Structure 1
Amino acid sequence: MKQILVVDDDPQIRTLLQIALEKADYRVQMAADGQAALDQARRDPPDVIILDIGLPEMDGLQVCQKLRQTQQTPIIFLTARDDEIDRILGFEMGGDDYVTKPFSPRELVARVGAVLRRSGGVAQPHVLRRGVLVLQPTLHKCQVANRDLALTSTEMAILSELMGQPDTPIARPRLTDRVYGVNIHVSDRTMDSHLRNLRAKLAAAGCADAIETVHGVGVRMGSCSAA
Structure 2
Amino acid sequence: MKRSIGVVEDDPNIRDIVKAYLDKEGYHVEALNSAERAWEFFEQSPPDLWVLDIMLPGMDGYEFCKRIRQTSEVPIIIISAKDDEVDKILGLELGGDDYLTKPFSPRELVARVKRQLKRWTVMKPEEEETSDMIIEAGHLSLNETERSAYFKGEEVEVTTKEYDLLKILARKENRAYSREELLIKVWGEDYFGSDRAVDDLVKRLRKKMKDLPLETVWGHGYRLRAHRDNS
Amino acid at match of 1:99: Y
Partner of 1:171: 178
User: Measured at CA, do residues 38 and 208 of structure 1 come closer, stay the same or move farther in structure 2, by a change above 3 Å?
Assistant: farther
With normalisation by structure 2, the TM-score equals 0.72
Q: Deviations over 1:50-77 (max 9, x none)?
A: 2110223432123335556x63454432
For 1:199 and 1:24, how far apart are their aligned partners in 2? 41
Q: Is the 8 A contact 1:76 1:95 kept in 2?
A: no
User: Measured at CA, do residues 107 and 174 of structure 1 come closer, stay the same or move farther in structure 2, by a change above 3 Å?
Assistant: same
> Number of matched residues?
221
Gaps of 5+ in 2: none
User: Measured at CA, do residues 163 and 116 of structure 1 come closer, stay the same or move farther in structure 2, by a change above 3 Å?
Assistant: farther
Gaps of 5+ in 1: none
Amino acid at match of 1:89: L
Q: Deviations over 1:128-172 (max 9, x none)?
A: 211221124465343333344455554433332222222121112
Partner of 1:144: 151
SS of 2:5's partner is strand
Amino acid at match of 1:87: K
SS of 2:55's partner is coil
Partner of 2:163: 156
User: Measured at CA, do residues 210 and 34 of structure 1 come closer, stay the same or move farther in structure 2, by a change above 3 Å?
Assistant: farther
Which has more radius of gyration?
Answer: 2
Partner of 1:96: 96
1:36 Cα deviation (Å)?
1.3
User: Measured at CA, do residues 202 and 8 of structure 1 come closer, stay the same or move farther in structure 2, by a change above 3 Å?
Assistant: farther
Partner of 2:45: 44
Partner of 2:116: 111
User: Measured at CA, do residues 215 and 201 of structure 1 come closer, stay the same or move farther in structure 2, by a change above 3 Å?
Assistant: closer
For 1:49 and 1:24, how far apart are their aligned partners in 2? 16
Aligned-CA RMSD value: 3.6
| % identical equivalent positions | 26
Partner of 2:77: 76
Amino acid at match of 2:9: D
For the pair 1:221 / 2:228, whether they are aligned, the reply is no
Partner of 2:64: 63
User: Measured at CA, do residues 14 and 31 of structure 1 come closer, stay the same or move farther in structure 2, by a change above 3 Å?
Assistant: same
With normalisation by structure 1, the TM-score equals 0.73
Amino acid at match of 2:46: P
SS of 2:212's partner is coil
